[in-house]
Chains A and B, each alone.
Chain A
Amino acid sequence: KNEVEQSPQNLTAQEGEFITINCSYSVGISALHWLQQHPGGGIVSLFMLSSGKKKHGRLIATINIQEKHSSLHITASHPRDSAVYICAAPTQGGSEKLVFGKGTKLTVNP
């Protein structure tokens, strides 16, 4: 079974700072998911990536398949980015069942 570890657990930043959240997993995967959980609890899928890099607005996700590691970057952070960011990987291979990291709670202060 895949083990998914995220770091840091908590992150506080000032508005405008560059943010990096890390995720490592133990078993080779077909795709890794980055999710954002709002304070009310709802979860939104940010990225699903299997190689290289993806960008959406100020969010960038990268993955290194050989090192089993992914990063989520936020450029020019804003208080509205405050949320819990979660990475998730399939339990094995191309399985649809996901194993979730415990999340990184990001607080961006104005």
Chain B
Amino acid sequence: DGGITQSPKYLFRKEGQNVTLSCEQNLNHDAMYWYRQDPGQGLRLIYYSQIVNDFQKGDIAEGYSVSREKKESFPLTVTSAQKNPTAFYLCASSAGTGGNTIYFGEGSWLTVV
């Protein structure tokens, strides 16, 4: 079955460490996204990519980095520069530009201890 796989589901990180969240899709989608969700807030866009080897910052990109070396993969690195990294992270993908159904992964819970 086609879908989006995020891993790990739960992750604990010590302050000062970088951590990478994996996102893989087999839907052959061009566009991929990373969102952050905090309690009581809507999802906020961290980074997005509309095509391989290209990505753009979203609304809250500071302290995060991404790569898009393959169409099916869009990993997110939460760096030590991210001041408040404890959150729920969601990866999503869609077929392309304008008015396409968006598909989400199951999300990753990151806790900084």
Contacts and interface: CB of A to CB of B under 8 A. Distances in A.
Interface of A: 4, 30-31, 33, 35, 40-45, 48, 50, 86, 88, 90, 93-103
Contact of B42 (A94, A95, A99): A99
B98 A96 contact: yes
Interface in B32-55: 35, 37, 40-45, 48, 50
B99 interface: yes
B63 interface: no
Closest 4 CB pairs of A and B: A94-B98, A100-B42, A43-B104, A31-B99
Interface of B: 31, 35, 37, 40-45, 48, 50, 58, 88, 90, 92, 94, 96-107, 109
Q: Which of A40, A48, A97 has the most CB of B within 10 A?
A: A97
Contacts of A41: 37, 88, 90, 106-107, 109
Contacts of B96: 96
Nearest to A95: B98
B105 A42 contact: yes
A42 B45 contact: no
B104 A42 contact: yes
A70 to B, nearest CB: 14
